[in-house]
């Protein structure tokens, strides 16, 4: 009998989100081996090793990457380290799932995508909404051209993050091994690179770019940071290749007892497609009157991020060839946000 293939996985970064989501999502798979883990803090590192059964635990990511027969790496380090960790893994020919934002620099994001192509390996973003059935239905309808040629897009996202982005304690109810991230990870511009844009709009922008295939060309933005060192509010006007235009907005101040807002509207030459996650709606309105509205339960729009790590392993093992959140969408989001942060300082349109 042929022995079943097992994916040997390493983690660079093992804080709150990695230990609350990515590791639990994979721990019960018989075809996954937790080979190595890297994080800062000897006591915390040993705790993760013991809890999840890693073979190797190290505070040196280069040591992790030098382990023989490693198949893939999940990068879940703070924003500013994503490029350093992901490019080192890709250059060794390893598959990479990299947390959002892919990087905080457009050139670096493009380099990661190019290196993955050179190496012939997968680069995947953990954008959980891409795996929701009604979002995949929306993607299929867009790919069929149900609204014709895209002419205009709107994309709005809001989250209950005022406290975290302002440097306070963040409460998020999960089965946590560690406390949610230290405020400096998100609230210090030297560490996070930016505020709501990088921390959350990377999600919504990545989804919009995945649904549409658009590429950003020029961006004008205004941002505000009331009582915060990083911005809480973002307003972007974007011109895409081909003359399509659109707007993106973000707000980090939804009340703490409420969930995400995410609303996407794509206007085309033959109709408009709308996605609303707060109220769980997929709607297509066509100029010919052949309208469509999905019948969804109230929980359909809730965020679940178990899909990406499982997709990552299935790609490594050849169980699928479909990468539902490829690095290219993360790259486009960063190209747009990089230009947006530059525009907010210059007061003019900035080229991607």
What is the DSSP code (8-state) at residue 147?
T
Please tell me the predicted confidence (pLDDT) of residue 175.
Answer: 52
**CA 225 – CA 233 distance, rounded (Å):** 7
DSSP 197: I
Residue with tokens 């959140």: 325
Q: How far apart are the first and last CA of the chain?
A: 54
Quote the pLDDT of residue 167.
84
pLDDT, residue 1, reads 35
Task: Say if residues 197 and 234 touch (Cβ distance below 8 Å).
Answer: yes
Give residue 190's pLDDT: 80
Crossing angle between the packed helical segments 202-212 and 327-346, to the nearest 10 degrees:
120
SS3 252: coil
The size of the chain, in residues, is: 352
Pairing type for strands 150-158 and 216-224 reads unpaired
Predicted pLDDT at 180: 61
pLDDT of the chain, 352 residues: tens digit per residue: 345 799 999 999 999 899 999 999 999 999 999 999 999 999 999 999 999 999 999 999 999 999 999 999 999 999 999 999 999 999 999 999 999 999 999 999 999 999 999 999 999 999 999 999 999 999 999 999 999 999 999 999 999 999 889 887 666 555 565 656 666 677 888 878 899 999 999 999 999 999 999 999 999 999 999 989 999 999 999 999 999 999 999 999 999 888 899 999 999 999 999 999 999 999 999 999 999 999 999 999 999 999 999 999 999 999 999 999 999 999 999 999 999 999 999 999 999 9
Q: What is the DSSP string of 46-107?
A: HHHHHHHT-SEEES-HHHHHTSTT--EEEE-S-GGGHHHHHHHHHHTT-EEEEPSSS-SSHH
Domains of the chain: 7-128 (3.40.50.720), 132-303+324-351 (3.30.360.10)
pTM metric for this prediction: 0.94
């Amino acid at each position: 009998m042929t022995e079943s293939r097992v994916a040997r996985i390493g983690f660079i970064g093992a804080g709150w989100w990695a230990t609350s989501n990515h590791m639990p999502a994979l721990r019960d798979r018989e075809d996954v081996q937790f080979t190595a883990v890297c994080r800062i803090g000897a006591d915390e590192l040993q705790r993760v090793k013991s809890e999840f059964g890693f073979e190797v635990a190290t505070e040196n990511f280069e040591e992790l990457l030098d382990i023989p027969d490693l198949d893939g790496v999940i990068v879940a380090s703070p924003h500013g380290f994503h490029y350093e960790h992901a490019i080192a893994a890709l250059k060794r020919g390893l598959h990479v799932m990299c947390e959002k934002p892919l990087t905080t620099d457009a050139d670096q994001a493009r380099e990661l995508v190019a290196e993955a192509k050179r190496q012939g390996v997968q680069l995947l973003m953990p954008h959980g909404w891409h795996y929701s059935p009604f979002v995949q239905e929306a993607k299929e309808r867009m790919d069929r051209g149900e609204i014709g040629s895209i002419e205009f897009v709107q994309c709005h996202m809001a989250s209950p993050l005022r406290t975290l982005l302002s440097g306070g304690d963040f409460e998020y109810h999960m089965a946590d091994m560690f406390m949610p991230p230290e405020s400096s990870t998100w609230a210090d511009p030297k560490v996070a690179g930016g505020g709501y844009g990088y921390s959350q709009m990377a999600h919504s922008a990545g989804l919009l770019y995945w649904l549409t295939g658009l590429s950003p060309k020029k961006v004008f933005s205004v941002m505000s940071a009331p009582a915060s060192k990083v911005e809480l509010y973002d307003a972007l006007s974007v011109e895409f290749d081909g003359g399509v235009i659109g707007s993106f907005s973000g707000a980090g101040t939804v009340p703490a007892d409420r969930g995400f807002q995410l609303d996407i509207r794509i206007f085309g030459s033959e109709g408009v497609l709308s996605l609303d996650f707060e109220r769980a709606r997929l709607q297509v309105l066509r100029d010919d009157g052949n309208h469509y509205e999905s019948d969804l339960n109230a929980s359909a729009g809730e965020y679940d991020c178990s899909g990406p790590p499982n997709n990552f392993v299935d790609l490594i093992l050849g169980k699928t060839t479909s990468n539902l959140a490829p690095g290219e969408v993360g790259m486009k989001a960063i190209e747009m946000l990089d230009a947006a942060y530059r525009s907010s300082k210059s007061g003019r349109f900035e080229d991607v």
